[in-house]
Amino acid sequence: MHSTSKKSRSRSASERTGLIGRWCRNGATALAVWAASSSASFAEIAVALVDGSVAVTGLAAETLSELRASQRDFEAWTAVLQVSVSEEAPPILGEYEVTDSVLRFHPMFPFDPGKPYSVRFELEGTVERASVALPAADRTPTTFVSEIYPTTDTLPENQLKLYIHFSGPMAGGDGLRYIRLLDEDGNDVVDPFLPLGDAFWDRERRRYTVFFDPGRVKQGILPNEQMGRPILDGREYTLFIDHTWRDEHGNALTTPFEKRFTTTAADESAIDPDHWTLNVPRAGTLDPLVLDFSESLDHGLLMRALRVENVPGTVEVSENESRWAFTPEQPWQAGDHAVEALTILEDLAGNQIGKPFEVDMFERIETPEDQAASEKIPFVIR
């Protein structure tokens, strides 16, 4: 590899020291960069974080051309440019890119805001070391628990799951470490939830689903026989969410959150649509079609397990998830219509349409057709 110039090779120590304390700015993103050579330095070399990657500038066109033409694997590239969390740590995984003006390292995972990273550049006997960092994230908490479903404060003792909704995206990970279930004396209920880690975040990480341990909820299962149900009829409980739960920016929640509820007897009956009340609007209006259930149903499934056939519109769930209202995009047309209800719709205890949760699942194996089954609820618009 050829050097850029003899002048750059003979650069003085005082000139190299002048690189210390350099500040670079890329758009609105400021970052601090220091560099000091352990040997001779290229004349204009600088190391900085630009658009989330480490950029080395000041290399001669000939040097960049030779780097671009080289067939280096990852290990060979790290001998030229290594980025790590400290000088002693192994290199961070990523990809290397050489353009006409810059040598660039793209990390496999984004750099953490406010965390310094060690950079070592070595070429033709020249060694440059630098520390780079993105600006620290804003630590002012803004995210909070916006709602917990079911919203009712009365739950059956065989309650199956809870949905925790946040005002903004969260960091992900195992949420159970931030959740406690307290009995009426303020004591922790032992192992009430199924330990699923980070498996039950929605795609936007704004909803986290918590399952009561089905092995304790369902009768005839060993955990149920040994420990009983997590919550019991006639008792009071508090679901407590710690404010240290982190959002996508690493900030804590604005405040802790509590949901207090009482427990009633177990609900072991299948959902029966014949017990629903349908309030039908008039033709030519945009009035909602309203379904009143005889109980609170699962909020998450209510948003996708019911629809009006061949009529686009919007859905609103209210009254502690016991009412479903559908508003059409266009005025209702007179004639026959139907609500389609997928049989996977559940109540708070996991009972589905036509099938209670306590059914012995070993008696039959569901087929995909069974899982996608639905019932039609006809109505006439006049």
Q: Assess whether 251 and 340 both reside in one domain.
A: no
209 shares its domain with 293: no
Domain C-terminal end among 66, 100, 132: 132
Say whether the peptide bond before residue 150 is cis (omega within 30 degrees of 0): yes
Residues 108 and 17 in one domain: yes
Contacts of 369-372 with CB under 8 Å at 24 or more apart are 371/344, 372/342
Band of pLDDT at residue 40, cut at 50, 70 and 90:
very low
Q: Which residues contact 2 (CB under 8 A, 6 or more apart)?
A: 60, 62, 63, 66, 124
Token digits of residue 211: 């399952």
pLDDT surpassing 50 at residue 304: yes
CATH number at residue 223: 2.60.40.1220
Contacts of 302 by beta carbon, 8 Å cutoff, 6+ apart: 315, 317, 321, 324, 345
Question: Who's near 5: CB < 8 A, 6+ residues apart?
Answer: 43, 60
Average pLDDT value for residue range 226-245: 94
Whether residue 160 is found in the same domain as residue 103: no
Whether residue 184 sits in one domain with residue 128: no
With CA atoms as reference, report the closest residue to 347 among 151, 98, 160. Answer: 160
Which residues on neighbouring strands pair with residue 241, listed in sequence order? 179, 257
- CA torsion sign for 333, 334, 335, 339 is positive
- Asked if 182 and 238 count as a contact pair (C-beta separation under 8 A), the reply is yes
Average pLDDT, the chain: 85
Q: Which of 210, 241, 264 is the last residue of a domain?
A: 264
pLDDT at 31: 40
Instruction: Kindly report which listed range (25-39, 317-331, 348-362) carries the lowest average pLDDT score.
Output: 25-39
Query: What is the Rg, in whole angstroms, of the alpha carbon atoms belonging to the chain?
Result: 31
Range of the domain at 366: 273-381
DSSP state of 321: T
Co-location of 260 and 277 in the same domain: no
Neighbours of 275 (CB within 10 A): 11
Are residues 326 and 246 part of one domain?
A: no
Average pLDDT score over residue span 254-283: 97
Q: Is the pLDDT of residue 116 over 70?
A: yes
Say if residue 280 is in the same domain as residue 353: yes
16 and 123 part of one domain:
yes
Look at residue 331 and tell me if it is in a domain: yes
Q: Please give the tally of structural domains in the chain.
A: 3
**Of 243, 264, 285, which residue constitutes the final position of a domain?**
264
Could you tell me if 43 and 65 lie in one domain? Answer: yes
Q: Note whether residue 377 is domain-resident.
A: yes
Same structural domain, 127 and 11:
yes
- The overall pTM is greater than 0.85: no
191 and 250 both lie in a single domain: yes
Please check the confidence at residue 23 and state whether its pLDDT lies above 80.
no
194, two tokens: 């199924």
Answer yes or no: is pLDDT of 358 > 80: no
